[in-house]
Amino acid sequence: MEEILKIALVQSSLVWEDPEANRAHFSKKLDLVSNDVDLAILPEMFTSGFTMSPEKLGADQSKKTVDWMVNEAVSRNMALVGSSVFYENEKYYNRLLFVKPDGEVSSYNKRHTFTLAGEHKKYTSGKSIETIDYKGFRITPLICYDLRFPVWSRNVSGYDILVYVANWPKPRITAWDALLKARAIENMAYCVGVNRIGTDEKGLEYDGHSAVYDPLGERQAFSEKEGIVETTVSKTYVKEIRSKLRFLEDRDDFNLKY
């Protein structure tokens, strides 16, 4: 079992509603990632920006994005994660894909669609969380607005790393910073947030703040600029902290209702 995982936070601007241009853009971005990175993380809706017009993208783009992610993960020998518009069974989803270097694909549909922007009117909400085993680490990936809901994010599966991909705008970035840190502390896990930067077609500004917080809430990586941020997380450190500070043993039991 690996005790160290090297991750790359790919913080970037996005081309509005143009999947082909974004896939080509991120292929170039991934060329800048170190060869020894185990996991590269892209923003939410990395092929389109936070669009409320998924029908403009074309149903075939879902498969094209999956194929692109598989090819990138396999050819670069690293896992790749990010969310995009996904069309399936006559429904649209904001779907996160986690692709391992062997081509295995796991998925998670965003549970908390962003009602303020009308996302709930266009995208079907997910009903379950996916915890993925990768190189000895248990990883739970979630999407943007999920960050505001601590019950949904609660560490009941024994994950080591909690990942959020996002399009989180500048006017509310203080909440993003505070909640990432809080999710790390309360779940005694690494919390990784990858946000976009730039300005979208609606005029919303994004200033990144992609970051990694350790299980005690200490920030070990952070950026407000376009580019790649690389850092390592330690399974041994998670074990040591949880052994010394046994806070998770006192957590409340609960059942979610849908």
Q: What residue segments make up the domains of the chain, in order of their start?
A: 4-250
> Helices marked H in 119-212 — which ranges?
119-122, 150-153, 173-187
Distance CA 78, CA 53 (A): 32
φ, ψ (nearest 5 deg) of residue 11: -95, 120
Say if residues 45 and 85 touch (Cβ distance below 8 Å): yes
pLDDT of residue 253: 86
Specify whether the CB–CB gap between 87 and 54 falls below 8 A. Answer: yes
Q: Classify 200 as helix, strand or coil.
A: coil
Torsions phi, psi of 200, nearest 5?
-95, 180
CATH number listed for the domain at residues 4-250? 3.60.110.10
pLDDT at 45: 98
241 neighbors 216 (Cβ within 8 angstroms): yes
pTM for the full predicted model: 0.97
Catalytic residues: 44, 110, 144
In this structure, what token pair is assigned to residue 60?
């075939």
pLDDT at res. 226: 97
Give the pLDDT of the chain (258 residues) as one tens digit per residue.
569 999 999 999 999 999 999 999 999 999 999 999 999 999 999 999 999 999 999 989 999 999 999 999 999 999 999 999 999 999 999 999 999 999 999 999 999 999 999 999 999 999 999 999 999 999 999 999 999 999 999 999 999 999 999 999 999 999 999 999 999 999 999 999 999 999 999 999 999 999 999 999 999 999 999 999 999 999 999 999 999 999 999 998 888 876
SS3 26: helix
d(CA 101, CA 2): 15
Tokens for 80, please give them. 């790749």
| C-alpha to C-alpha distance for 32 and 53, rounded to whole angstroms | 31
pLDDT, residue 233, reads: 98
Residue 76 CA neighbour count, 13 Å, CB half? 26
**Nearest-CA neighbor of 49 among 80, 70, 69, 25?**
25
Q: At what angle do helices 19-30 and 61-76 cross, to 10 degrees?
A: 10
Predicted local distance difference test score (pLDDT) of residue 135: 97
Taking a C-beta distance cutoff of 8 angstroms, is the pair 24, 30 a contact?
Answer: no
Cα 22 to Cα 61: distance, rounded to the nearest angstrom: 12
d(CA 101, CA 135): 11
- Return the pLDDT at 124: 98
